[in-house]
């Protein structure tokens, strides 16, 4: 059972209406089926379709391609509300927008945008972004997937891991980072010529492109995550996304924005733990009184609320700077760091408030406990965020 935010900073009317609308959808449509979807490891196709009809996949996209003409902060608000009740649904939306469709909007040709964006922003199709490999995550220099231009086609060979939205029935393409050559005059950490990394669009069903069995994950059980394999996959030369050799640089830009989105999702998870704990502490009795009357419990929940509030303020500021066209890399890193840790800490404390019930998978706090750890890892680990912040401090 959820409660109203007591510390939500004031929003402009349009943003508040959006937040309230998605909150209602999350509480009335998503929450009631979340435990079953999680237990069955079942992708939420019906919910995705409904989110598409609501325009959530199109929030930050121009009307020219069927979008809502909104901005990234609107997406973040939606993610926070969904993240309260179901992180799998929230990450499906987040990855579908920031990793799937946004690279096309930012770096695609007009022809690529017209071909792919309308279905993606409507939620009819999903796209994945293939960056991580068995030996390359935060270290792009470890990328082993290659793409060789031959007779007007890219021939791609390699493998990717942990790719979200890559194997659903509605996945239409995956954008793949691949080594397309070397950079003249530059060397990597190993002293060898630096790798030229580009991004290439690979439609689902392309010969030689295979999707491995879904992972058996600790959490996010209703989201879609697979390893991908490319064996002499051939796609047209015009499937290059953006400028050749700018693939990783472009992806870093996408990641900066994505960290704000992940911070919003994590803030929602942190707030969801607060809401559930308040409701439980008010009705659960022990030693003749409600457990919320015990200072040990009430102080724990108060600290949880402070974490959620701080996380919200952090992602709000990062989004504000981004929309104002100001540098926001450090603020995004801090927001992701603060919110990810808030989600994990609040999930642990909420489980403690619930006691034995918090260890049962049918409870939301148990799902948040399993789901929240990845918020300290995905789209840049906590250590990567600390590295970015330290660099900004001149260290």
pLDDT of res. 189: 66
pLDDT of res. 184: 77
pLDDT of res. 190: 67
Cα 278 from chain centre: 27
In the structure encoding, which two tokens stand for residue 11, read together? 């929003």
Distance CA 11, CA 17 (A): 9
**pLDDT exceeds 70 at position 8:** no
pLDDT, averaged across the chain: 94
**pLDDT exceeds 70 at position 4:** no
pLDDT of res. 94: 98
Nearest-CA neighbor of 43 among 91, 88, 97?
88
In the chain, the domains with their CATH numbers are 13-121 (1.10.540.10), 127-246 (2.40.110.10), 249-392 (1.20.140.10)
Distance CA 211, CA 163 (A): 10
Sign of torsion, CA 137 143 145 148? positive
pLDDT of res. 340: 98
Predicted TM-score (pTM) of this structure = 0.94
In the structure encoding, which two tokens stand for residue 262, read together? 């992940």
pLDDT of res. 47: 98
pLDDT of res. 11: 83
Give the DSSP letter of residue 136: B
3-state secondary structure of 44: coil
pLDDT of res. 135: 84
Point out the residues that are catalytic: 379
CA dihedral 287, 288, 293, 297 (to 10 degrees): 30
pLDDT bucket at 7, cuts 50 / 70 / 90: very low
Distance CA 277, CA 107 (A): 44
Tokens 């509605």, located at residue: 170
pLDDT of res. 6: 42
pLDDT of res. 293: 96
pLDDT bucket at 345, cuts 50 / 70 / 90: very high
The least confident of 190-194, 209-213, 292-296 is 190-194
pLDDT bucket at 187, cuts 50 / 70 / 90: confident
- What's the rounded mean pLDDT across residues 362-379? 96
With contact defined as beta carbons under 8 Å apart, do 70 and 251 qualify? no
For 86-119, how does the pLDDT look when each residue is reduced to its tens digit (9 = 90+)?
999 999 999 999 999 999 999 999 999 999 999 9
- Residues 6 or more apart whose CB falls under 8 angstroms from that of 341 comprise 307, 376, 382
For 256-265, how does the pLDDT look when each residue is reduced to its tens digit (9 = 90+)?
999 999 999 9
pLDDT of res. 249: 87
For 40-97, how does the pLDDT look when each residue is reduced to its tens digit (9 = 90+)?
999 999 999 999 999 999 999 999 999 999 999 999 999 999 999 999 999 999 999 9
pLDDT of res. 252: 86
pLDDT of res. 258: 93
Which alpha helices (DSSP H) does 44-109 contain, by range? Answer: 45-54, 72-85, 87-94, 102-107
3-state secondary structure of 347: helix
Half-sphere exposure (CA, 13 Å, Cβ side) for 278? 16
Tokens 């659960």, located at residue: 284
**pLDDT exceeds 90 at position 186:** no
Distance CA 55, CA 93 (A): 11
In the structure encoding, which two tokens stand for residue 388, read together? 């970015």
Give the DSSP letter of residue 133: B
Distance CA 323, CA 313 (A): 15
């Amino acid at each position: 059972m959820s409660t109203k935010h007591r510390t939500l900073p004031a929003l402009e009317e349009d943003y508040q209406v959006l937040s309230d609308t998605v909150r209602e959808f999350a509480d009335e449509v998503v929450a009631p089926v979340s435990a079953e979807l999680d237990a069955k490891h079942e992708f939420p196709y019906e919910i995705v379709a409904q989110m598409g009809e609501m325009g959530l996949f199109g929030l930050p996209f121009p009307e020219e391609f069927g979008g809502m003409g909104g901005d990234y902060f609107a997406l973040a608000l939606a993610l926070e509300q969904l993240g309260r009740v179901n992180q799998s649904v929230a990450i499906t939306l987040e990855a579908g927008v920031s990793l799937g469709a946004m690279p096309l909007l930012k770096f695609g040709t007009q022809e690529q945008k017209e071909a792919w964006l309308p279905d993606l922003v409507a939620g009819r199709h999903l796209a994945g972004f293939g960056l991580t490999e068995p030996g390359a995550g935060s270290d792009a220099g470890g990328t082993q997937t290659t793409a060789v231009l031959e007779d007007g086609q890219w021939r791609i060979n390699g493998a990717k891991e942990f790719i979200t939205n890559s194997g659903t029935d509605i996945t239409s393409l995956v954008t793949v980072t691949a080594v397309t050559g070397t950079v003249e005059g530059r060397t990597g950490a190993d002293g060898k010529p630096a790798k030229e990394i580009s991004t290439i669009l690979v439609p689902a069903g392309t010969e030689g492109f295979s999707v491995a069995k879904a992972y058996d994950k600790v959490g996010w059980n209703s989201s879609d995550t697979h390893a991908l394999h490319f064996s002499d996959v051939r796609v047209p030369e015009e499937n290059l996304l953006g400028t050749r050799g700018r693939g990783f640089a472009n992806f870093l830009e996408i990641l900066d924005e994505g960290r704000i989105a992940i911070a919003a999702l994590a803030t929602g998870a942190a707030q969801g733990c607060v809401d559930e704990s308040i409701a439980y502490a008010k009705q659960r009795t022990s030693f003749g009184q409600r457990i919320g009357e015990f200072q040990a419990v009430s102080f724990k929940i108060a600290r949880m609320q402070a974490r959620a509030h701080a996380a919200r303020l952090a992602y709000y500021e990062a989004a504000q700077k981004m929309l104002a066209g100001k540098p926001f890399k450090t603020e995004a890193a801090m927001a992701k760091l603060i919110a990810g840790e808030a989600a994990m800490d609040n999930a642990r404390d909420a489980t403690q408030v619930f006691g034995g019930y918090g260890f049962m998978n049918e409870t939301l706090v148990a799902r948040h406990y399993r789901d929240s750890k990845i918020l300290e890892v995905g789209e840049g680990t906590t250590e990567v965020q600390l590295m970015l912040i330290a660099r900004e401090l001149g260290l």
